[in-house]
Structure 1
Amino acid sequence: MSTRHALDAAALAEVESRLAATDELLANSYPGDDGRRQPIHTAYVPADRFAPELPAQWGADALNAAGGFAGLAALAQKLGLEDPAALAELVAAKLNSEPIEDLRLDFEDGFGVRSDAEEDAAVVEAARQVAQAVADGVAPPFIGIRFKCFEAPTRARALRTLDLFISELVAQGPLPEGLVLTLPKVTTIDQVEAMVYVCEKLEEVHGLPAGRLRFEVQMETPQLILSHEGTVPSAALIHAGKGRVSSLHYGTYDYSASLGIAAAYQSMEHPAADYAKNVMQVAVAGTGVHLSDGSTNILPLGDAEAMESAWALHARLVRRHLERGIYQGWDLHQNQLATRYLATYAFYREGFEAAAARLRNYVHKVESAIMDEPATAKALANFIRRGMICGALTAEEITAKAEISVTTLESIALARATQTEESNA
């Protein structure tokens, strides 16, 4: 007896036709992770204080503030982190080799309001210093500027600063591969669309490839969480950005102040902050756009007791946003680098063995008490991959514990290919 099919080729064609728009939406607006590196932090410095030697100096200052290798180990122990000696060794190496992953030269709040002549001169000099740092091989992997916002009082100055910076960088040579531009205090999608136009114009004038200039959006106003129409602009602006929005960054203090939260209670862990970041996290899901938490303004300065208290707070806040699936945050002072890396490395190393075992069992089809699905395997691989990229884990550790190659790890994390068992891993 033959099986009858009610849904023939004509029915399939009809379904294909009805879902063509959905297919296009998913492909264009939700392409997923493109594999580009996400820095674990963004450090901010006033633009006129940058020099090529600044990253190395920050690393040396951070190590010195912690008391060297022994001090890092002691700090890790006080913070209750596992294997303090191993963490100290890894963090000391990071502070010597790549102390800052992402650096923003600030022409906004950190620079303040100055005369046009003074800011013009500072912009040109900043571009030259950035170009020199890149040429000398001492620039962080990601580097760029935060200019003033596109609101009416500062709009012209913002455009002038951006124009001068890009023009001088182009004059100095190829743009830095990790160039980042930050658009602050965004309130409407129109401002994002205006930034898209500006990027297109700069590319046209300077002969840059289309799409070369991308930018971050700083979420510092409630209007991006809920508009006057009841919509969620932080989600819509990503798609209005035409592929140029690289990241959404939460601005702790401007956002808190805009809600009327008293200064003493403004924090990365205030319920209002969590709500905003939860909305942003949903907005970026599947788009390939990164998400960053903000900063704490309690700095490790002063006497030993004050420094230890600030380090403990910073380490806890770093761990907190990592556990919530936000893998980047801000650092405002070099002394915060010690706890940025200690807390981040501890997060990945403490979870590594369990994640590696589950991923090994999934790849090699080993029966276990936990039955993971492809989506979970992808999350496990992403966790390990992030730990490797920032320096918390080594390729050798991954190969030994997960019994897979780094290539296989990448393919699972980025869902680039169907994974088969590696019998000779």
Structure 2
Amino acid sequence: MGQQETVATSFADAVREGIGAALAEVDADLARRYPGDPGTRQPVHTVYVPGDAFTAGTIRSWGDQALAMLDEHAPDAGALAAVLGLSDDLAGPVYDRVRAKLEREPVEDLRIDFEDGYGLRSDAEEDEAAARAAALVAAAYRDGTAAPYMGIRMKCMEAAVRDRGIRTLDVFLTGLMAAGGLPEGLVLTLPKVTYAEQVTAMARLLDAFEKTHALTPGRIGFEIQIETTQSILGADGRATVARMIEAAEGRATSLHYGTFDYSASCGVSAAYQASDHPVADHAKAVMQVAAAGTGVRVSDGSTNVLPVGPTAQVHDAWKLHHGLTRRALARAYYQGWDMHPGHLPTRYAAVYAFYREGLEKAAARLAAYVAKAGGDIADEPATAKALSGYLLRGLDCGAVEGDEVARLTGLTRADLDGLAGRPTKSA
């Protein structure tokens, strides 16, 4: 087999070359529209805090409040496992990791809210709050107390509040530049989008800011919040989300589902507005398909049932939140919103149990695939990609450890990145 054997063919080189030329434009369009996973960490949640309530101590305060709630309502692994229905083998590892997470990094993504959670204020008051937010965010990144991702949610592009939203965005970004530049973890959220043109307007604003400050083109991305019926189905009867991703001109980083605004816009009564309602499932399925392969992430919404009051009431709220989070994870919505410090224990418990309970099976399947060892499941490259992505998400959020994954799979972080289609980076 030292030389390649000659086989008979019928197609002339000109035919093959002609096909390549005919599809060159399609090849380029596929590469542009569907670049794949961006290779960055996706936070497991987003915490929203009103612009006037955010302080330098907010993140630590949320962690401390969450730990205090565990101490009061689930003081040990067995107690939390009994509330959430965790198995005996998961109870200890999950509980220990939840407490460690709340001590080390209680919030993964924080959005300082200047929209619904902030409301309408005088221009002077909102200017002051936006400038203060910029100063606090810059200081947090300098002193190491920042969440991995932080930013603001501005007011939307509708006429009544458009100018105020643009001004708040300007004040915040300009304040960050004056304080040393834009942090790597900067995230911006554009809410209540109804038309793709509003997304393009946001992209043009950011382009203008980058030019003013001589920043790299495309440096600033933003999230699109899906919370209106028009953001799912346009007036012409066509699905809208994919057009919004395109309208962002490469700046869209994620799509966030807005549980209560969207449910209300569909006429769902208040008692039934939830992230597991059929209208929510439909919207998120459309979002998921539109974002697939584009590098744009999808986030679930929130629950408005807060874990407050006596222990029995807290436990009921925890069960609900845990169940909704687990449901979302099974449907590949790996991020959601948390509205109260008491949601943090169940967010992390659900996430950690999800990744730990499947660790050994996923690792074994991936190792068998790489070794081509066969077994009782015939996995294909697409499944190997999903298995690698599962393990990487578990590593990113702290559910599993690198040495665990390496021991079970024989693979490095770079190996997993490659199998998952992520840009390869060091462990």
- Classify the TM-score, shorter chain: over 0.9
**2:36, 2:422 within 8 Å by CA — same for their partners in 1?**
no
| 1:218 has 2:225 as partner | yes
* 1:86–1:3 distance in 2 versus 1, CA, 3 Å: closer
| 1:346 has 2:353 as partner | yes
| 1:167 has 2:174 as partner | yes
Equivalent residue pairs, number: 416
2:81 to 76, 80, 83: 76
Instruction: Note the C-alpha offset of 1:403.
Output: 2.0
1:387 to 385, 388, 394: 394
**2:138, 2:179 within 8 Å by CA — same for their partners in 1?**
yes
Matches of residues 263-302 of structure 1 in structure 2 within 5 Å? Answer: 263-302=270-309
| 1:244 has 2:251 as partner | yes
Matches of residues 7-406 of structure 1 in structure 2 within 5 Å? Answer: 7-67=11-71, 70-71=75-76, 73-82=78-87, 83-406=90-413
The AA in structure 1 aligned to 2:230 is Q
Please report the TM-score for the alignment, with normalisation by the length of structure 1: 0.96
Please report the TM-score for the alignment, with normalisation by the length of structure 2: 0.95
Aligned mates of 2:423, 2:271 — CA distance in 1:
47
Instruction: Note the C-alpha offset of 1:17.
Output: 1.7
Aligned mates of 2:248, 2:377 — CA distance in 1:
41
Aligned mates of 1:349, 1:129 — CA distance in 2:
36
Instruction: Note the C-alpha offset of 1:78.
Output: 2.1
What residue is the counterpart of 2:3 in the other structure? none
Instruction: Note the C-alpha offset of 1:92.
Output: 0.7
Aligned mates of 1:175, 1:196 — CA distance in 2:
17
CA deviations over 1:201-242 (Å, ceiling 9, x no partner) = 111112221111110000011111111112111111112211
**1:167, 1:206 within 8 Å by CA — same for their partners in 2?**
no
Instruction: Note the C-alpha offset of 1:54.
Output: 1.4
% same residue = 51
Partner of 1:300, secondary structure, is coil
CA deviations over 1:312-332 (Å, ceiling 9, x no partner) = 000000000000011000000
CA deviations over 1:151-172 (Å, ceiling 9, x no partner) = 0000000001000000111001
**2:109, 2:148 within 8 Å by CA — same for their partners in 1?**
yes
What residue is the counterpart of 2:416 in the other structure? 409
The AA in structure 2 aligned to 1:38 is Q
CA deviations over 1:97-121 (Å, ceiling 9, x no partner) = 1100000000000101111111111
**1:183, 1:216 within 8 Å by CA — same for their partners in 2?**
yes
Partner of 2:157, secondary structure, is coil
**1:52, 1:139 within 8 Å by CA — same for their partners in 2?**
no
C-alpha RMSD of matched pairs (Å): 1.3
Aligned mates of 1:202, 1:118 — CA distance in 2:
23
Aligned mates of 1:73, 1:67 — CA distance in 2:
13
**2:39, 2:423 within 8 Å by CA — same for their partners in 1?**
no
Instruction: Note the C-alpha offset of 1:73.
Output: 4.4
**2:200, 2:247 within 8 Å by CA — same for their partners in 1?**
yes
Instruction: Note the C-alpha offset of 1:7.
Output: 1.5
CA deviations over 1:280-316 (Å, ceiling 9, x no partner) = 0000000000000000000101111110000000000
Aligned mates of 1:13, 1:284 — CA distance in 2:
32
Aligned mates of 1:99, 1:72 — CA distance in 2:
18
Instruction: Note the C-alpha offset of 1:26.
Output: 0.8
Instruction: Note the C-alpha offset of 1:76.
Output: 2.6
